[in-house]
Amino acid sequence: MEVLKHNLKVTPYEYQQEGILFGLRKKRFLIGDEPGLGKTLQSIGVVDCARAYPCLVICPASLKINWQREFEKFADVRALVLQDSVRGTFPYLLQRGMYQVAIVNFESL
């Protein structure tokens, strides 16, 4: 088995490491694991290992804060939750490197 070299603040379980490695190899993929198995950690692991920053996360509005916390907890990167009221500042904040991840809900797109 290939060894996963990562900068995550936690060590993923073996099956999560396999998922991260799969994502790094395929580039385009869906994680269809059962709830509670760490799909978020695997997604963050792929982004972080690939150094795919800046990163855009599109999710339901109810999960924006969760994604922000998880990125900061697992990868130690700053995540910005995009709100419609400050839409004009998004490009500036991301271009300046103040945040590595932008999180937006479907409706705001």
pLDDT digits (tens, 9 = 90+) for 6-18: 999 999 999 999 9
Length of the chain: 109
Q: Are 18 and 45 found together in one domain? A: yes
Q: Are 41 and 60 found together in one domain? A: no
Domain span including residue 28: 1-52
pTM (2 d.p.) = 0.88
Question: How many H-runs (helices) and E-runs (strands) does the chain carry?
Answer: 4, 3
Contact criterion met (CB below 8 Å) for 39 and 33? yes
Q: Is the pLDDT of residue 1 over 70?
A: no
Supply 5's token pair: 């070299």
Report the half-sphere exposure of 64 (CA within 13 A, side-chain side): 16
Dump pLDDT digits (tens) for 74-106. Answer: 998 999 998 877 677 777 777 787 889 999 998
Question: Strands across the sheet with 79-81, in order?
Answer: 55-59, 101-105, 79-81
Q: Are 42 and 90 found together in one domain? A: no
